Amino acid sequence: MRFFESAARVLRPAARVAMGLVIAALAAGAPLVLRADDKAPPQAKKTAAVKETTAVQKSAVQKTPLIPRDVLFGNPDKAALRISHDGKHVSFLAPVNGVLNVWVAPADKPDEAKPVTKDTKRGIRSYFWPYTNKHILYIQDKDGDENWHVYRVDLGTLETTDLTPLPKIAAQIDTVSHRNPTEIVVGLNDRDETYHDLHLVNLETGERKLLQKNTEFAGFLVDEDYRVRFGLRYEPDGTTTLHQKTGDAEWKQYMKIPQEDTLTTSPSGFDRSGLVMYMIDSRGRDTSAMTTIDLRDGKQAIVARHDKADVSAALMHPTENTLQAVSFEYTRTEWTILDAAVQADFKYLRTVAAGDIQVTSRTLDDKIWTVAFLMDNGPVRYYVYDRAAKKAKFLFTNRKALEEVKLEKMHPVVIPTRDGLSMVSYLTLPKGSDSDADGRPDKPVPLVLNVHGGPWSRDNWGLDPEHQWLADRGYAVLSVNYRGSTGFGKKFLNSAAKEWAGKMHDDLIDAVDWAVKEKIADGQRVAIMGGSYGGYATLVGLTFTPDKFTCGVDIVGPSNLLTLLSTIPPYWKPVLQMFKDRVGDPETDEGRKLLNERSPLSYVDKIQRPLLIAQGANDPRVKQAEADQIVKAMKEKKIPVCYVLYPDEGHGFARPENRMSFYAVTEAFLAQHLGGKFEPVGDDFQGSTITVPTGAEEVPGLKEALKK
């Protein structure tokens, strides 16, 4: 699992309420090529070459040690380092009996850390220190249903309390302020499942008090005095409007954001006075810039911008609310320093370790920072940094076992599309394949095209466990920021409007063709794999371009865009217009026609190549029916498919036991069809809830492993 660190007091575009189909914990013989006149079931034949390759694979397992799956996909040893606001304690995530929990230690004695939470099933993945300094807050759902609750841990008694003990809610932590340390603002959709009302929640007593009733807005902007200042609404014409609160129940439209800017423009906070609003803004330019708006006279000024990349994050002073640095990410993270007070800090930190710098927390007096360094071929390194002494003390890496393992470099590459766009992509090559270290293998190798979810998300540089896993097994791995990916300006983002299975798929084909032309990939051994939108892209690959890929792995991917959009969670309805504009409108004849034409389910009979489908039964975004219906259609047409289903998972696989089993199945599946190495299942099904409703016989060793 990769833990993405966020800068302390980070500003991010509030309008990025996109599909969010990004999965935690997923990243994921000779080819079986069918002749046009071959009518046999696509997975029914095995050539002698495949059988011979499989024998070689089994032999290779004995001769060449592979990186164990649990080293890459199991729980980290320690992760998510934070320091309390008073600087007296540090905290991190680490396993307790195999389940991630929060640990706390005196700041000067980190080795004395003890667990303070008691999760025994899914593990805690998101937590933080409130300003009381005597509590830990975290969010948790049940079996992946995304009905989030907010939990408080009293560090004195170690008692855990659900601060949102309500049925069928998806709680959101909205605002936390040092000016009111004993209260936080939480969004709750208990009154109306579509809209989140804002409540003040007392951390000491658990008392909730209504702050703002919501009947129309997708989100609010609240200042540090817990005053609701603005509401954001998606309009039927595709624009978004920002409304300023002028009275107890009065709102005045303050700003109208054009449709082309809705995913790259949003308010992000206020300065200390509350009179200046920070705004990430792409209006009048391609990439979004960090700007300020004086709310007294409306004057706007650009603070930082980048010609190729949108604002990625911003670092703010803990109490002064001044912008100190802004990051942009084209191929890698670049920091623009705005405040001379942190110039020397960043200069020093660049000497501490290689990798991209992430400030993960800061004390309220700003004397101590915790810092993570993200590498591409090594584990995340965590430090406690004393600003006055200009000294960073190393605490730990997130995966100690990776410190002694040779990992492969991730190469940023920019791939052109057929219509002149540039796709920032990341390539990792198989171990030992690049003798001159020029980022190109000595000869073409099998390739896995690993497609990110979202689609309004992006792939990043850094240690990617799936890249390392697949490279270790003998495959090149290519992750492509196809059009619609975020961070590269609005032209690139908007060029994906209503291009699902259209130009977005063309981009993936262009990337594969580029890899073949560059002699990176063996064009006869290319797999496509991904989660969420990446799973959809996999299904599109095997139906729209059935001869292009040797096999595919679909993880929680939608198969029918009509049913996908008709079953979204109720609390997504305030942003439904965005889906209509960018995917297709299920409420019009023209829109339904487009959605049907872009749905892989409509072309099941085109599938010729092996397919593995994995799904969580509790997924609220891409419901189990999306997998069920395409599996059913394939079975009716006697097209083989292996379907892996987890009854206690949602949109991705959070439990490490389930991840282990999924990657074990996928590894055997890819080895069978691409000819790479594989690690036997061994004990990787132990503790997993894996079920295989159909097609266990399609993956070598799967039926036997299920019997254990």
What pLDDT does residue 24 have?
26
Domain boundary among 579, 611, 638: 638
Q: Give the domain range for residue 98.
A: 79-398
What pLDDT does residue 64 have?
63
Both 377 and 523 in one domain: the answer is: no
What pLDDT does residue 28 have?
24
Burial class for 297, CB neighbours closer than 10 Å (0-12, 13-18, 19+): exposed
Please give, one letter per residue, the 3-state secondary structure of 343-368. HHHHHHHHHHCCCEEEEEEECCCCCE
Both 542 and 448 in one domain: the answer is: yes
What pLDDT does residue 63 have?
58
Both 208 and 111 in one domain: the answer is: yes
Closest to 380 (Cα-Cα) out of 3, 84, 692: 3
Domain boundary among 347, 374, 398: 398
In a domain, residue 107? The reply is yes
pTM: 0.91
In a domain, residue 7? The reply is no
Both 128 and 239 in one domain: the answer is: yes
Both 419 and 539 in one domain: the answer is: yes
Both 369 and 433 in one domain: the answer is: no
In a domain, residue 661? The reply is no
Q: Please enumerate in sequence order all residues whose Cβ is within 8 A of that of 448, keeping only pairs 6 or more positions apart, or say none.
A: 470, 475, 476, 477, 478, 526, 527, 528, 529, 670, 674
Please say whether the beta carbons of 290 and 304 come within 8 A: yes
What pLDDT does residue 60 have?
40
Question: How many whole angstroms separate alpha carbon 517 and alpha carbon 197?
Answer: 54
In a domain, residue 535? The reply is yes
Question: How many whole angstroms separate alpha carbon 68 and alpha carbon 678?
Answer: 10
Number of domains in the chain: 2
Closest to 98 (Cα-Cα) out of 69, 81, 121: 121
Domain boundary among 357, 376, 398: 398
* Sign of the four-CA dihedral 514, 515, 521, 524: negative
Both 461 and 355 in one domain: the answer is: no
Q: Domain containing 505 — which CATH number?
A: 3.40.50.1820
Question: How many whole angstroms separate alpha carbon 292 and alpha carbon 280?
Answer: 9
Both 314 and 441 in one domain: the answer is: no
What pLDDT does residue 349 have?
98
Total Cβ atoms within 10 A of residue 236: 7
What pLDDT does residue 40 have?
30
Both 327 and 429 in one domain: the answer is: no
Instruction: Verify whether residue 651 is a known catalytic residue.
Output: yes
What pLDDT does residue 42 have?
29
In a domain, residue 70? The reply is no
- The low-confidence residues of the chain, meaning pLDDT below 50, are 1-62
In the set 271, 619, 648, 684, the catalytic residue is 619
In a domain, residue 379? The reply is yes
Q: At 58, is the secondary structure helix, strand, or coil?
A: helix
Instruction: Verify whether residue 673 is a known catalytic residue.
Output: no
In the set 361, 532, 559, 599, the catalytic residue is 532
In a domain, residue 484? The reply is yes
Please say whether the beta carbons of 613 and 600 come within 8 A: no
Burial class for 635, CB neighbours closer than 10 Å (0-12, 13-18, 19+): middle
Both 181 and 278 in one domain: the answer is: yes
Q: Domain containing 381 — which CATH number?
A: 2.130.10.120
Please say whether the beta carbons of 456 and 487 come within 8 A: no
* Sign of the four-CA dihedral 603, 605, 607, 610: positive
In the set 85, 411, 505, 651, the catalytic residue is 651
Both 148 and 194 in one domain: the answer is: yes
In a domain, residue 618? The reply is yes
DSSP assignments along 535-591, one per residue? HHHHHHHHHHSTTT-SEEEEES--S-HHHHHHS--GGGGGGHHHHHHHT--TTSHHH
Both 471 and 337 in one domain: the answer is: no
Q: Please enumerate in sequence order all residues whose Cβ is within 8 A of that of 4, keeping only pairs 6 or more positions apart, or say none.
A: none
